[in-house]
């Protein structure tokens, strides 16, 4: 099983959005993350990078 850590804008400890991400959906400018416990988080933005071998995803947040 491949689980990932999702980060907001850059990969740093303080920008972790969610750990143990098992599913990522992109719908109408929103990235929806689901973790192993079926908890969900929605982030306005777009998927910038996903490295499933190293287990990380970077989401570029929509500028406010």
Query: Rounded to whole angstroms, how far apart are CA atoms 32 and 46?
Result: 10
Number of domains in the chain: 1
Neighbouring C-beta atoms of residue 26, cutoff 10 Å: 12
pLDDT at 21 exceeding the cut of 70: yes
Q: Whole-model pTM?
A: 0.93
Measured CA distances, 60 to 1, 38, 46 (Å) = 25, 23, 5
Domain of residue 48: give its range.
4-61
Confidence of residue 1 (pLDDT cuts 50, 70, 90): low
Measured CA distances, 58 to 39, 51 (Å) = 18, 9
Where b means 16+ CB within 10 Å and e means fewer, 31-40 reads bebbbeeeee
């Amino acid at each position: 099983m491949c689980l990932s850590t999702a980060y907001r804008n850059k990969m740093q400890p303080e920008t972790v959005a969610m750990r143990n991400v098992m599913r990522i959906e992109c719908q109408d400018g929103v990235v929806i993350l689901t973790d192993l416990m079926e908890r969900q988080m929605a982030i306005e933005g777009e998927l910038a990078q996903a490295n499933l071998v190293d287990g990380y995803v970077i989401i570029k947040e929509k500028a406010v």
